[in-house]
Structure 1
Amino acid sequence: MLRIKRLKIEIMTSNGVYGFDNTFTEGLNFIASEDNTCGKSSIIAAIYYCLGFEEIIGGKGEKVLTSVYKTSIEEGESIWPVLESGAYLEISNGKEVITIYRAAKMENRDNKLITVYHCGIDEIGDPNKLTEDMYVHMPNSTVNKKGFHSYLETFLHIELPLVPASDDGTRKLYLQLIFSGMFIEQKHGWADILSGIPVLGIRESKKRVLEFIMHLDTLENEKKKDYLRTLDNSIKHEWDSLIKELIVLTNRETCTPQGLPLTPKILSEEDYSKISINKDNDSIDEYIEDLKEQYNNLTIMKPKIVDNFDEIQTELNETETSIEEFERELYKHRSLLYSENSSIDKLTNNLEIIDTDIRNNKDAARLRNLGSELDLATSKDTCPLCNQAIQDTLIPDTSHIQVMSIDENIRHLNAQKEMLEFAQSSHRRNKEKIQEKITQLENSLFTLRSLAKSLRNDLYSINDNISESIIHKRLQLDSEINSLNRMSEFFNNQKLKLKELSDAWKDYLKDKSTLPKKKFSDLDDEKIRTLRNHFISNLTQFGYKSILNLNQVEISSESYLPVIEGFDMKFDSSASDNVRAIWAFVLALLQTSNDKSGNHPGVLIFDEPAQHSIVINDMEKFFDYIIKLKNSQVIIGITVKDSDTRQAISKLPAEKYNLIRVPNKAFRKLPLENE
């Protein structure tokens, strides 16, 4: 709940203090002047400014305020320069009262600074009353403790939801957006429903505001859906990264992963147990045990060459044979790699040619269409002299050749482009696999060549020398065992992460299954029906005539705005009826919130609602309707230049409204405090 209790504007000049100081009551309040240029909007702008809602007017900071706050005050023939200016706004949440002070022009005070007095205006200066400085329109001013809008949210007992932002993140639904559905300012507010809503990076901001005001369950559902969409993407991304990492890791060690699910799934105990590593058709544990056995056998072998000469010669022969086989395999894969690179280059060149052809054909089609609009025969593929068809080609026309038109060419070229892009993607995947195989073969060749070198050294060494090949094998086996152990350990750790992701996926699917099948809950449907009923009733009451059958009006389930046969009803409305529709909708929102326990703070501001020569009888009905509202405060800035408007106000029961008269100039010289 928000109630504006008092506004005090102070503008310091060399001729004293000028300003405005008036109180507001529950129910209907008029700020009325004889002319439209007396400063009513400047007074109302101060309310927006103190609340930090000036973006509804169209900007940030003091620049949205009129020159009377920043430049000069006129008094008769005299003009007094403004030295300093600011405004005090006393507000209530129904239980507590605070006063907000914000400077408009002050040498040593930034306009982003707001002072909050935990008392009414008359009690400012009491040392027993708490005073706090806060900031507005700065990073985190909606979430930090000293951010004014964060404080105001708490003070008004509003819990702002997180909603999707245009950058695909989530942000709080700003207070400025919410109050743009309640504060209708004069310049832009009467163009359309919620036309004054600021652009603050919230996706579908009008929709989110209406969901919040009516307190629709769908807001929570949408929030949950967005959270689940983010969670879905996050789990899939982590799962994909983890699987790719494991595949690259195992391939680097010439191993093969088994049982890895490429996409998220709920892993049963059986599924989990099947996730393993194989090498040479053995499990990794068996393979490592085999290597350890080989290593242990080498430790008991006689280390002198004279004892192992025949075995060394045989092993060298086998090693050299393996080297030749690996070299042939490596040569074959390098040839394949060259072939893939060549294919990719050709496809890239072909795609560039096709892109050029598509552009040229689209340009030709565009020029043809332009010519068609100019009614030129050549642009219609027709000869202007003989009226015979002109083909889209310079190839001689023959009866047995069917030449495609430009549009058919474009479709054909696009199809070719898709096919070539698919082929190019396939060749790139093949290239990656071949490159991995080449790396494995090069590593194996390096190992075999090192072993062959050691074996040759053994053969040509003195017989009593220690066998270099045996020592080399030991070192090689020890290195491979350690490397495979590290890989196996890392793989097992990643398996645990995979299990955690599987559990998260299970929770995600469970939460997803609990989402309501219908977009709206039964209560949401009831609230939307209530909004429609109030809106149509208000249209009837205010003399809306642009649509004969108002039962055709519906509230869109997508935007929550009024539509007729799926189209914005504004298109069928006259200018004055569009204003009536804004009255009707803004009031219907408040009524719906009151009826169905919504989040409306119960305050409305209309600046000059008598737009586009509204009939005075309809204005009377508008005023009469407002005074019957319960639990609300409405402030109307209005010009009473003509007698009809004055009579419309005077017809209201005197105890039902508060009239604040603005003389020729809104800001008069204020008496000194001791006067």
Structure 2
Amino acid sequence: MSKLIINKLKYTVITQDDGKYGATIPFKNGLNIIYGPNSVGKTSIITGIIYGLGAEKGLGIFKTIQNPFKPEFYNFIDGKTIKSSYLLLEISNGVETVTIFRYIKGGEVHLAAVKKCSADEFFKTEEVTKLIVSGEGVFSENGFQNFLFNFIGINQVELPTYDNKLSKLYFENILPLFFVEQRAGWSQIQARQVTRYNIKDVKKVAFEYIFGLDRFNLHLTEIKVKELEARLKKFKEELYQKEENLLIIANAEKSEEILIVNTNSIGKTSIYDYIRYLQEKYKAESEFINQLSSQNKEYEESNEKLRDSLKTLDYQFRKASEKVDKISIEIAGYESYIERINANKYKNKQLKKIKELSTDFNIKTCPVCEAKLQAQQDDECVLCHSELSKKISTPEQNLAFLEDEENTFKKVIKQRILDKLKILEQRNVIRDKIKEYESQLEHQTKTFAGKEFADLRKRILDADYTHKEMEKYSRIAQRWEDLKPLRRDITITDLELKKLNEEVSKYKQTVNDLNIINSITSYVKSNVTSLGLFKGNKALIESIKVDSNDNYTPYLDNYDIYNISSSSDNIRIILSYYLSLLQTSIKFKNVDSINFPNVLLLDEPKQQNLDNDSLIDCVSLIENILSDDAQVILTTYSELPSDRQKFEKHIIYEMKSKTDYLLKRLTE
């Protein structure tokens, strides 16, 4: 069974004058309450646990340069500059104990050092293993997540992503199922789920994974089905577009993957039969022309030369026309861009007027940041008090840039228009030559061939047309044949999709899955009742569902469960749910597939409008469900001494006043 126990957290902060500050927080099995007023450091204890587990992404920290701690851990403390700081986190899996060392400042924050010892013995032993906490390699042999998964006793898995790749399920993906962060965490279940790995349906698969549902493997199949459906749709759309284009070009229709063309000469026929017909016709016409042409050698040679020249000129004419079209499109693009430039110029002129109005109307404060305008320096924004080095350019600078860019594009347009005119002129020359050669060919036919060759030119033109038709339909046929691999991909994908759909359709929720989901649902209802949610409306409470339809979170068919009562009720729903996960994990402790680590980290639910009575009910509920197999760490506070008495036996660390801060001066 998977298990994670937090034994101890130790902070050490060293200042430039070698002064030492720190704190030691011991934990135990069962309920651990960290007690104290706001802003004394309760959340810093939770942050230390998460940071020690290499899961700061679960706090919203994604860059190494970002520090999840407050400034007194890495900047200044008591007015003194901090030279270095680190933490020691002692954890256990029920069998083995290790201590994790991580720098907060002054060392390699992307690494962690791990020793098989207690936190108190860490610096007394030599053997240490350095592991990669962030960046590439966290799941490598020297990766911290590789160590942590093995230590807790959970398997590493790879899941499909939205970009059709595979990604590991990271620790920060399962963390939101047993950690509720103080700010965003109480807004919804799994609020701090990390989606940056692009894992498909990550909330759903994280739940199925951590509770070892048999549906986890089915869900992977369903994800694969979605992937294949998307791929099949893409293939079919691509095939349809390409086929439609060829059908239009060939004036054809499709019948059983064969092109049926509609011709003037032989009517409807397959494209291959039509190509054979054109080949035979061209061969017969060519033989007839050659027979007539051989009677006059001079005519034959001149005629052949002119025909070749006409083909070349026709090709050149078409290419010139294509260039003209491309340049026209290019010019249209530049003109469109100039229109956007003019729109931007208008906006910047308006901004310039706003800037001038700040003087005309004697505006004394910036409407954005409310800073006093007269206190601005040359290196600050006139309106929003931002540093120019971090601000976009001024309206005047933008106008100058846009004017310059507009002039540049106008010059380019002018040049491209000249280029277009040159090509048009070249095309006209080619057209004139075509006419000249056609006239010459006609003259030669009449002059050299006599009456018996009067129709030779027509025959030649017919033969040329036949040849062009033959080449055209041969190209279309080849392009149609080139679609075979795409059709084959569609067939293979379709077969694979049908096979996977059959697997999904045969699935019936297993007894194991039903037992776990029913247990969570039952505990949610019981906890909701204990916490006084919905004013004891039994019918409403019994209507609560937990299943895959809403990522295995509580919901109602007829109402939005989070909008039918007060904001404090939302917190009680979330508390009820997370406690139900722990209760279910304890209940099924002998099921090896469950990966829930039997620990809950709940950071100050009272910050989110939870009243004292509900907090007391929550603590009572935790008291009744906890055993030696589980641990709950809760940060909270109440101004009432009577409330403290109710919590007292569970308080493992207390900060007694608003000036009793977590970090204290240490003496040697």
With normalisation by structure 2, the TM-score equals 0.61
3-state SS in 1 of match to 2:576: helix
Residue type at the aligned position of 1:534 = Y
8 Å contact from structure 2 (residues 583, 625) kept in 1 = no
1:459 aligned partner: 446
- Structure 2 partner of 1:512: 501
Q: Deviations over 1:403-452 (max 9, x none)?
A: xxxxxxxxxxxxxxxxxxxxxxxxxxxxxxxxxxxxxxxxxxxx999999
Match of 2:73 in 1: 69
The whole-number CA distance in structure 2 between the counterparts of 1:449 and 1:476 is: 19
Q: State the distance in 2 between where 1:486 and 1:521 align.
A: 57
Shift of the 495–448 alpha-carbon distance from structure 1 to 2, 3 Å rule, reads: farther
Q: Tell me by how many angstroms 1:87 deviates.
A: 2.3
Asked whether the 8 Å contact 2:28–2:631 carries over to 1, the reply is yes
Match of 1:81? 81
Q: 1:592 aligns with which of 566, 575, 584?
A: 584
Equivalent residues in 2 for 1:182-581, closer than 5 Å: 182-190=178-186, 193-194=189-190, 209-216=206-213, 221=218, 223-249=220-246, 252=249, 254=250, 256-259=252-255, 271=256, 280=266, 281-297=268-284, 298-299=286-287, 303-305=291-293, 307=295, 454=441, 457-461=444-448, 484-516=473-505, 523-541=512-530, 546-549=535-538, 551-557=541-547, 558-559=549-550, 560-563=552-555, 566-569=558-561, 579-581=571-573
> Within 2, Cα distance between the matches of 1:230 and 1:296?
52
What letter matches 1:589 in structure 2?
L
For structure 2, the residue ranges without an aligned partner over 5 or more in a row are: 301-433
Aligned twin of 1:17: 20
- Aligned amino acid, residue 558 of structure 2: G
- Tell me the SS of whatever aligns to 2:544: strand
User: How much has 1:669 moved relative to structure 2?
Assistant: 3.9
Residues 495-519 of structure 1, C-alpha deviations (whole Å, 9 max, x = no match): 3531342232233233224323889
- 2:175 alignment partner, one of 164, 172, 179: 179
- Asked if the contact 2:528–2:573 (Cα under 8 Å) also holds between the matched residues in 1, the reply is yes
Task: Give the match for residue 380 of structure 1.
Answer: none
The structural deviation recorded for 1:182 is 1.7
Asked whether the equivalents of residues 5 and 25 of structure 1 are also in contact (C-alpha less than 8 Å), the reply is: yes
Cα 1:247–1:480 change in 2 (3 A) is same
CA spacing shift, 1:538–1:452, aligned 2, 3 Å: same
Once residues 207 and 151 of structure 1 are traced to their aligned partners in structure 2, the CA distance between those partners, rounded to angstroms, is 25
How high is the sequence identity, in percent, across the aligned residues?
A: 24
Counterpart residue identity of residue 9, structure 1: Y
Whole-Å separation in 2 of the counterparts to 1:449 and 1:234 = 55
Change (3 A) 1:496 1:277: farther
Q: Conserved in 1, the CA contact under 8 Å of 2:14 and 2:20?
A: yes
2:400 maps to none
Which SS does the other structure have where 2:238 is aligned?
A: helix
Deviations along 1:333-367, one digit per CA (max 9) or x if unpaired, are xxxxxxxxxxxxxxxxxxxxxxxxxxxxxxxxxxx
Cα shift at 1:176 = 3.3
**CA separation in 2, counterparts of 1:144 and 1:636?**
33
Q: Given that residues 458 and 468 in structure 1 are in contact (C-alpha distance below 8 angstroms), is that contact kept between their aligned partners in structure 2? A: yes
Residue 600 of structure 1, CA deviation: 1.7
Change (3 A) 1:540 1:449: farther
Deviation at 1:11, TM superposition (A): 0.9
Asked whether the 8 Å contact 1:257–1:275 carries over to 2, the reply is yes
Q: CA deviation at 1:480?
A: 5.8
Other structure's SS at 2:445 match:
helix
Q: C-alpha distance in 1, partners of 2:615/2:236? A: 67
Q: Against the structure 1 CA distance between its residues 454 and 570, is the aligned structure 2 distance closer, same or farther, given a 3 Å change threshold? A: same
SS in 2 for 1:7: strand
Q: Secondary structure at the match of 1:461?
A: helix
CA contact (8 A) 2:252 2:259 kept: no
After superposition, the C-alpha distances for 1:268-308 in whole angstroms (9 at most, x for unaligned) are xxx46x56667644444444444444455434865454859
User: Within 2, Cα distance between the matches of 1:94 and 1:456?
Assistant: 105
**1:578 CA drift (Å):** 5.4
Aligned mates of 2:228, 2:82 — CA distance in 1: 56
2: CA distance, partners of 1:304 / 1:241: 50
RMSD across aligned positions (CA): 5.0
Aligned equivalents of 1:477, 1:448: Cα separation in 2: 21
2:611 aligned with 1:612: yes
- Inter-partner Cα distance in structure 1 for 2:527 and 2:189: 15
TM-aligned CA distance change 1:197 to 1:485, over 3 Å: closer
- Rounded to whole Å, the distance in 2 between the matches of 1:452 and 1:283 is 38
Number of matched residues? 508
Q: Unaligned 5+ residue runs, structure 1? A: 260-270, 313-446, 652-656
Separation (CA, whole Å) in 1 of partners of 2:187 and 2:242: 56
- Secondary structure (helix, strand or coil) at the match of 1:592 reads helix
Per-residue deviation, residues 48-84 of structure 1 (Å, max 9, x unmatched): 233344455555565542232133334xxxx533222
What is the match of residue 659 of structure 1?
652
Whether contact under 8 Å (2:517, 2:546) holds in the other structure is no
Provide, for residues 232-275 of structure 1, a one-character-per-residue CA deviation record: whole Å limited to 9, x for no partner. 232233233234324534654x463531xxxxxxxxxxx46x56
Match of 1:635 in 2: 633
Contact kept? 2:531, 2:617, Cα under 8 Å: yes
1:45 partnered with 2:47: yes
Say which SS state the counterpart of residue 132 (structure 1) adopts: strand
The answer to whether the Cα contact below 8 Å between 1:135 and 1:146 also exists between their aligned partners in 2 is: no
Matches of 2:248 and 2:616, distance apart in 1: 84
1:132 aligns with 2:136: no
Q: Is the 8 A contact 2:525 2:544 kept in 1?
A: no
- Aligned partners of 1:255 and 1:617: how far apart in 2? 80
Kept in 2, the 8 Å contact 1:72–1:80? The answer is yes
Distance of 1:486 and 1:494 partners within structure 2: 13
Q: Cα 1:608–1:473, aligned 2, differ >3 Å: closer, same or farther?
A: closer
Conserved in 2, the CA contact under 8 Å of 1:576 and 1:613?
no
Q: Secondary structure at the match of 1:665?
A: coil
CA-to-aligned-CA distance 1:132-153 (integer Å, 9 cap, x gap): 33425xxx78888887657755
TM-score by length of 1: 0.60
Asked if the contact 1:302/1:308 (under 8 Å) is kept, the reply is no
Q: CA–CA distance in 2 between the matches of 1:227 and 1:213?
A: 20
Amino acid at match of 1:602: N
Partner SS for 2:629: coil
Equivalent position amino acid for 2:45 in 1: I
